[in-house]
Amino acid sequence: MRAALVTALLASGCIKAAAFVCTNDPQCTRAGVQGTCESVGFCSFPDSTCASGRRFGDVSATYTQQCVGDVGSGSDASIDSGVIIPDGLGCPVGYATLTGIAQHVYRRIGTANSWQNQVAACQADGANVYLAVPDDATELQAILTLASTDVWIGVDDLTTENSFVTVLGSAATFLPWAALQPDDSGGGSDCVLALSASATYDDRRCSTSGIAVCECEP
């Protein structure tokens, strides 16, 4: 009876469902339809009306019911790494510029958590906020200086082994790997950690706890 009541309340909009963070495709099943655990940590399902052929589900935070690959829409939008992000949204209080980086602002999350949870924490700040994706060595060093330790980066190969993509849905082009990396140590090392001591990348298990830096496009 209680389960039925909760279901009814969710359907009526009286209760807002919490976002569901996935780590693998088998977790993304809806009404017998197999979905995909996207690199941003939310489930998508087949939808022929989307250019990508997939649409995020109902409990995907700021991505809810959006086509995969689209973060925003409309004429007032800019394109970054192949993903549309609305212009003029502004950034939350607490975000600040970093040395050598003029256009974006950043915030440090000092509480260590899994990669997926850090992705979700950044997304919760707005549609134009994501786990930081360094475009070059200058930006990486600025992020590491802010972090003051190893830090999760918005890059992973969760979908296809050794095919690294960003949380924005585009192929990762800046990949300064540490020596002998990526090595998928122990299997399932699918998320990228930036190493403070060397300003290089290492692939780690996504469940590993690490701090994060969120990036916002004003």
Let me know whether 90 and 124 are in one domain: yes
Q: SS3 for 170?
A: coil
Let me know whether 21 and 118 are in one domain: no
- Inside any domain, residue 198: yes
- Inside any domain, residue 68: no
What sign does the dihedral 113-115-120-125 (CA atoms) show? positive
Here the CATH number for the domain that contains residue 149 is: 3.10.100.10
Q: In 3D, which of 173, 166, 99 has the Cα closest to residue 133?
A: 166
What is the rounded distance in angstroms from the CA atom of residue 190 to the CA atom of residue 188?
A: 5
Let me know whether 39 and 119 are in one domain: no
Q: What is the pLDDT of residue 4?
A: 38
Q: What is the pLDDT of residue 84?
A: 44
The C-alpha angle with vertex 109 and arms to 162 and 42, in degrees rounded to 5, equals 50
Let me know whether 192 and 135 are in one domain: yes
- Inside any domain, residue 73: no
Q: Which helix (H) or strand (E) holds 12?
A: helix 2-12
| Helices marked H in 60-208 | 115-123, 137-147
Sheet bearing 54-56, strands edge to edge? 36-37, 43-46, 54-56
Range of the domain at 109: 85-216
Q: What is the pLDDT of residue 82?
A: 41
How far are the Cα atoms of 34, 78, 136, 175 from residue 172, in angstroms, in the given order? 26, 19, 11, 7
Let me know whether 30 and 121 are in one domain: no
Task: Spell out the per-residue pLDDT of the chain, length 218, in tens.
Answer: 333 333 343 444 444 445 677 777 888 888 888 988 886 777 889 988 888 888 888 877 777 888 887 643 333 333 343 444 444 557 888 999 999 998 899 999 999 999 999 999 999 999 899 999 999 999 999 999 999 999 999 999 999 999 999 999 999 999 999 999 999 887 889 999 999 999 999 999 999 999 999 999 88
- Which residue reads 């209760």 in tokens? 15
Let me know whether 43 and 151 are in one domain: no
Q: How many domains is the chain partitioned into structurally?
A: 2
